[in-house]
Each structure stands twice: as C-alpha cells, then as structure tokens.
Structure 1
Amino acid sequence: MRPSILRRLLRRVASTAVLGLLAATLGTTAAATPAAAAAGGLQQFTGFGSNPGNLQMYAYTPAGLPAGAPLVVALHGCTQTASAYYTNSGWPKFADTWGFSVVFPQTTSANNSLSCFNWFDPADDTRGRGEAASVVQMVEYAKQTYGSDGRRVYVTGLSAGGGMTADLLAAYPDVFAGGSVASGLPAQCATSQAAASGCQTGPQKLTPAQWGDKVRGAYPGYSGPWPRVAIWQGTSDYTVYPANATALRDQWTNVWGIGQTPSSTDTLPGNTTRSVYDDASGNPAVETYSLSGMGHGLPVSPGSGAQNCGTTAAYFLNTICSAYYTGVFWGLDGGTPGGGGDQLPAPAGVSVTGTTDTTAALSWKAVEGAASYAVHRNGTKIASPTATTYTDTGLTAGTAYRYTVTAIDAEGTAGTASAQVTATTTGGSTPATCYSATNYAHVAAGRAHTSGGYVYANGSDQNMGLYNVFVTHTLKESPAGHFVIADSGCTTG
C-alpha cells in the first residue's frame, strides 16, 4: 500500500475517536446525489481543479445573476452535506435577495469517517494543501464560471466547517474578504488529531498576541488587508465550548491590531448579544454574537420577514438568522462592509399605492435616522427622495416592475434593502397568453423567479413550488410581464 493512502486511512480511523464528541450532537443526513441536489436548486460541478483535498463542489446561483457579484463559500458540519446546508442555513434566500453566488463544498467519509472537514490536520488546513487548497480551487472556478468579484469572496461554516473557515481565513487572507465562524474553533487551534478534542472543550489559554501569531504564521509575510470576522456562539454549547469564541475574538482583534474591549454592544433577537470591535477607521472589523442558552448549531430564524431565514432541523437552531446579520456585516446587502454595527434597518411597509399606464406610486414607513431613501427599480437605483413616498414615471403600459427601498443616513451610508414589491402598470392591448413548462423552464424564460429554492410567478408572486424540472405549471400572462398560475382553463398557443 502506498504511504499516502495508508496515511489517509489512518487519519480516517483516528478521526472517529477524536471527533466523536463533535459528531454525537449532529444528526446524520444522507449524502445528496447530484440529481437530488440539482432538483433543489443546487448544482454539482466536477473538474474544478486538481482537487488535492478530494472534496465535492456544489453551488447555487440565482437566475440572471450578472457578472461582478459577490461569492460566499459555506462549509457544513460533521455528518452533514452540502444539500442539508443549502436547505437549512438560509444563505440561498439572501443570494436571491441581494444577488450573489454560494459555493457549498462537501467532504465525505472517504476523507474523514464522520464527514468532518479536517480543520486539525496540517495536510488539509494549510495554504496550498489538501482540503483548503480544494476550496480555493472552487473559488477560482466560480470566478471563471459566474464572473464573481474576487474582491468580495467570503467564507462561513458550522462546527468543523467553522474550524476550517478560521483556517482558510488565516491561510488565504488574500482570497477571503470576510468570514463567519459558527460554533467553531480558532485558526490553527490544533495541529494534530490528538489535540483536536482538547480544543473543542477548551482551547489553550494563550494571549491575544499568541493567538494572532497563529494567523500571521499561516501566510508568512502577509501584512493585510485582513478579513472581517463574525463569531457566533451559544452559551450552552457543550460540544464546542464558548471559550473558543473568546479565543477567536482574541485572535482576530489582535490580527487587526485592536483591543479586546468592544466598541459597542447591543441586543438582538434570539437572546443574542452582539459586541462590535471597530478598526482604526471606526468600522467594525470583528463582531461576536453570543446567544444565551443556545446549544451547538447554526442560528436560523424561519419566517417570511426580511430578517428571517433558514429551516429548523438537527443543529439548525431557531434563534436568529445568522446569515442575515453576517451578510449585512460583510456588506452583501449593498451597505458598507463592516457597517453592520450601526446600519439603518430596512424600511417597513413598502407598498404600491397606485398605478397608471405610465406611473407607479410607492410608499413606506419612515426609518429613524434616515436622511433620504434610495429607490431601486429592477435592481437599478432610480431616485433618492427624502420623503416616504415616490412616484415612478415614464413606464410602459401593461408591464410589471419590481421595487426595493433603502434608507440612507446623514453620512450617505446605505442601510438594509426592503422586501421587494411588484407594480404592474395598467393598459396594454396584448391578449392573454398561456405557457406550460417546468418551473426550471419558466425561470429560464423570464416568466418566474427564484427565492430560497422556490419559484414565484413574475407579477403575481404566486408560489409555484420547488425550483426544479419535476414540477410543471401553466402560467397566463396578462398584462405583459404579469403572470398568474392557470393550470386549468388556459390553452397554450
């Protein structure tokens, strides 16, 4: 047997003992086949590189996403799959809302008997080697395939995926502009299998400078800019103990050259305390989210609100939407990166108050602290009113238009975008036309759009079911650009 194969087999066997505590609290999810993943909106990609870490690449990108959009890499926990993380984490919702792609790397029992990312193994978690190198190859492939903006690439992960996230941020600070570690470990906390379980229950009592040196040593000679890091941790996590969040905070504040006393703290939903650590320019560089009473898992908050996301499942815990607050912290919502500490909230109550054949009138509730508002039509900014109403003019009769509104503060910083509303102008003489096709084909033809893995008819926003090739509907178009489900009594031409 070749030595390289023997080493990998030994690593798999030893991993069972080392990571048993971690896997004991994570429900086993069957591995997704490429066909099943594609049916849920995920696609598998092969041939993305030499793949030294033997990982699988899955990705989700919204239909019609333009080049130059951000990219998020999301790493699952032990015994989980890319499909489970796609389904439950909440990231697809904000990919649709804010416009970015998500890569979901997947490891298997061929790498680790518990399907954990090997965050503790220098053969897999260091620059240019193993799983870490495979993830970076996926980033490069996504940049070529989707035209993703290389300056806005982010990585997030849960548990063992969180430990690998910290290692990736340390080894590749030139690749990742930001990271988010959920119930994870500090970068290079363990460099052997024997040390891994000790990190989980209580990392070494190092000084901030010593923790920071582990990051600086992962890519010698690199001097910045450093990634902005969010840290999520439950106070009742007895799998990866809260001491790891403290070590992560010490590590990354030291790397940024800032102290360990927060610049500000506030209270968020889900019994969450957010502590913000500003950089020298006064922008948040590190944020910690401490969830009182939460155990081991990723915080989600199912619901239809702008700040809700995800699905409750084994170790996807109903507390707060971590994807939303992490995305705002990174600036994925269009705000300033690192500006999540004092960013204005999304305007509530955005509604269409009237239409004519050439106009659409909107209104919304005032946002405290807003100096003005930005109105976007079909993703493009069209106006900056100071009032809470706006009438769009010069439109085409019988056409559907989508609008969002964002509050702007006195310094010109954009807050969070509102939920999207659709206005359909009156008039138009085009007779009703019917189309029968799969949900996938309707989206491809521009008659529907996706959000969180589901398909919605353009104009009416009726839920058509999952984004796949197995669900078929008939849509009636009247007026132009406005579609309703008409599975009976509508003949296609």
Structure 2
Amino acid sequence: MQRLGSMIHQLARYRSQWEGLMRAAATNEAPLEPLKTALQRLVETENFGVNPGNLRMFTYAPPELASSPGLVVVLHGCTQNAAGYDLGSGWSVLAERYGFVVLFPEQRETNNPKRCFNWFQTGDTERDRGEVASIREMVEIAIRKHGIDRDRVFVTGLSAGGAMTAAMLATYPEVFAGGAIIAGLPYRCATSVSEAFECMFQGQTRPAGEWGDLVRQASRHRGPWPKVSVWHGSADATVKPINAGEIIKQWTDVHGLSTSASRSETVDGYPRRVWVNDAGEDVIEEYIISGMAHGTPLATGNDENHYGVAGPFLIEVGISSSYHIAKFWGLTGSIVSQHKPSLRAESLADGQARTRQEDRRGRGKDVPSPIPNVGGVIVRALKAAGLMR
C-alpha cells in the first residue's frame, strides 16, 4: 500500500506539472482563435480502411502536383487538431508551393482526452497494431489515390506527434524515406504511463546500442533506414531537451554512425549538426533552438522561406522548421506555384469547435480501449492527465 500511495503521489505531481504547462502555453502564446485558417483545404476520408487505432484521416492535395509527388504525414501535438496544426506549421502552404501531398491523421478525444497520440501504449506502437497501423493504412490510401512516389514518403510530428513519428519510423522503416521529430522522444522510451511522465520531465539515458536495438526489434527491416531530422527547444520544460540527444543516439546507432557529428554549421542563427553516411549523404540532422520552450519553431511572415502562424506550441523564433525539414528531405527542389497560396477564411476557434463536435458524434465507430485494473483513483488521475484512454 505504501508503494501504491507513492505512485499515486508521483503521478499527481506529474499531472499537476503537465496541466500547469498546458495552461501557461495557452496564456503566454499569441492565441490562434482570431486568426484565419484554411480548414476547407483539408478533406476528410471516412471509413478509409483498417483502423484499429480509431483515428481520423485528413489530406490536402494541391491543384498541381510535381512529377513523382511526395507525401508528408503530419502528426499534431496534444490539445491540437489537424487543421489547427496545419495552419500553425504551414505544411499545406508548403505542399501547394512545391507540389506534394500532406496527410494529417487526427486523434479522437475518445482515444485520449487531451488528443495526444498514444505513443506510450504498446498496443498503439507495435507494427500492425493500434494507431501506427491506422496511420500506415492512411498512407497506403493516399499513395494510391494521388499517385505518390513510394520513395518520397515522409512523416513529422510535434511532441506526442513527434514521439509517434519515432514509432512510425521504427515500425515501418521501409515505408518512410525520412522523418522529423519535433520536441519528441526516442522510440520505446516509455511503455507505461509512469514511464511516459519520467521520459518527458526527466529523460531516460541509455547506451546508443540499446536504443538502436529497440528500433531494429520493431520490424524485420534491415536497411536502408530513413533520414531523421531532430528539433528541440533548449528551454523545453514539457519534454526535456535531453530527449533530443537520446533520439540522436538511437538513430546514429541504427545508421551505424558515430554519435559525433560529421559537421556543424549555423542556419538562420541556430546551430545545426549533421551526420553523413559512407555514401556522403546527410542522413541525420539536429537543431537545438536556444531559449525556445515546447513547440514547433516558426519563421512567420511573407518572406520566401517563412511559413505558419504563431500560437500555442507554435513559436516564432526566426527559423521555419517545416521549410528546413522539407528541404532536408529534398521536397523543395522545384517550385510548382510561383506565389504563396492564400488561406481561405474561417476562424480556428470555429474549426476546433466543429472538430470537437464531430468527435463527440463519433464519425465511425468509437472503439473502447481496455483500462488497466490498477484502482479507480489511478485510472481517473491518468485519464485527467490525458495519458490513458
């Protein structure tokens, strides 16, 4: 009983810290509600196929695609939705300018009350199971519908979406040519709620070989491996920056590289480290954004390489992570649209309310997830923290 009491106390402390950070971000960042968005740009595909994770599927395909178009899967963070994260990150605007397709899986509140992807649940992060299987199914649908080049499929995400990006790269490495993990965590850093909190707020240190083994054990794939871009704020109090270093250890080991970078440089005022393979290809990059809290780095405005709109967890720091990630993947080689597309007007607040209303109506069948039998008080605490369905 003493151990149970200690566990409850620790989880309550983590929950309080988590909710405080969520409130602070919503208060301190410029609100997105007054801004205009292109919610109409995203098209939902209902009943898209096998969906064990009970997720929603949204896509944007620009009017004109590049030859051999690419596909970028974009995973939002906790408390966000597909349309809001698209507006903030600028991915559909990038897609229209460079002629690729974007796919936005969206979490349901019935799966996670904070709309976090369940990156810490083994049933959602093992190949052909749960949420990763649903996202893989969406990718296949998008590839077939839009004539996507299978060698140009990528995935990125923020926070819980970043951790789920790591899961997609580990469980389906043959599907993705590259991934970008923003304020995320290494694959299999956590396989329980308590471990999830510990990884976020403290970090977990392991030898590179152990991290790499977790990826190698996730599938039968033995290479080639996806390129990986890692972004993290040095002042992130929600997901500690130590996680960026552990992600680097995991993927340098998978690629058979030293943890020491091949070269270092400065991009838009921030340090960039690069790892190069034996073929001379840049296969891993890392940006640590000095002074930035938890969120996606943005450079907003009308300049050539500026994309997105600042808001909660979408932070103006003078560098567009979305643009530089797309460039790292080779998606910015040729411009399809000579002018940056304008977004049609609808408030994000209206769109988020509409999404929540549709979520409560439960498009498709909401599949309940089993709750561990660890006592009602623990279950209620974890649900309230958004870390259990």
Q: TM-score, normalised by structure 2?
A: 0.79
Counterpart code for 2:200: Q
1:80, distance to aligned residue in structure 2 (A): 0.4
Q: Secondary structure at the match of 1:155?
A: strand
Q: Which residue of 1 aligns with 2:255?
A: 256
Q: Which residue of 2 aligns with 1:117?
A: 117
Q: Does 1:130 align with 2:20?
A: no
Q: Secondary structure at the match of 1:123?
A: helix
Identity of aligned residues (%): 41
The answer to which structure, 1 or 2, has the higher relative contact order (CA under 8 A, 6+ apart) is: 2
Q: Secondary structure at the match of 1:194?
A: helix
Check conservation: 1:90, 1:321, Cα contact below 8 A.
no
Q: Which residue of 2 aligns with 1:299?
A: 297
1:190, distance to aligned residue in structure 2 (A): 0.4
Check conservation: 1:108, 1:115, Cα contact below 8 A.
yes
1:204, distance to aligned residue in structure 2 (A): 2.1
Mark the structure with the bigger radius of gyration. 1
Q: Which residue of 2 aligns with 1:182?
A: 182
Measured in 2, the distance between the counterparts of 1:38 and 1:313 equals 16
Q: Does 1:234 align with 2:124?
A: no
Q: Which residue of 1 aligns with 2:375?
A: none
Q: TM-score, normalised by structure 1?
A: 0.62
Q: Secondary structure at the match of 1:181?
A: strand
Question: Cα–Cα, structure 1 residues 175 and 22, in superposed 2: closer, same or farther, change >3 Å?
Answer: farther
Q: Does 1:331 align with 2:330?
A: yes
Aligned residue runs from structure 1 range 86-125, under 5 A = 86-125=86-125
Q: Which runs of 4+ in 1 moved over 2 A?
A: 15-28, 36-40, 64-68
Aligned residue runs from structure 1 range 20-419, under 5 A = 20=19, 23-24=22-23, 27=26, 39-65=39-65, 68-219=68-219, 221-269=220-268, 271-319=269-317, 320-334=319-333
Counterpart code for 1:286: I
1:137, distance to aligned residue in structure 2 (A): 0.7
Gaps of 5+ in 2: 1-13, 347-389
Check conservation: 2:204, 2:243, Cα contact below 8 A.
no
Measured in 2, the distance between the counterparts of 1:262 and 1:68 equals 32
Q: Which residue of 1 aligns with 2:341?
A: 451
Indicate the RMSD between aligned Cα atoms, in angstroms: 2.6
Q: Secondary structure at the match of 2:154?
A: strand
> In the TM superposition, what whole-angstrom CA distance separates every residue of 1:206-225 from its partner, at most 9, and x where no partner exists?
11111111111111x32111
Check conservation: 1:67, 1:146, Cα contact below 8 A.
no
Counterpart code for 1:278: V
Q: Secondary structure at the match of 1:451?
A: coil
Counterpart code for 2:193: Q
Q: Which residue of 1 aligns with 2:5?
A: none
> In the TM superposition, what whole-angstrom CA distance separates every residue of 1:318-368 from its partner, at most 9, and x where no partner exists?
01100111011000112xxxxxxxxxxxxxxxxxxxxxxxxxxxxxxxxxx
Counterpart code for 2:343: G
Measured in 1, the distance between the counterparts of 2:85 and 2:286 equals 22
Check conservation: 2:162, 2:184, Cα contact below 8 A.
yes
Question: Cα–Cα, structure 1 residues 75 and 312, in superposed 2: closer, same or farther, change >3 Å?
Answer: same
Measured in 1, the distance between the counterparts of 2:39 and 2:171 equals 34
Question: Cα–Cα, structure 1 residues 452 and 22, in superposed 2: closer, same or farther, change >3 Å?
Answer: farther
Measured in 1, the distance between the counterparts of 2:227 and 2:187 equals 14
Question: Cα–Cα, structure 1 residues 273 and 66, in superposed 2: closer, same or farther, change >3 Å?
Answer: closer
Measured in 2, the distance between the counterparts of 1:17 and 1:163 equals 22
Q: Which has the higher helix share?
A: 2
Measured in 2, the distance between the counterparts of 1:22 and 1:253 equals 31
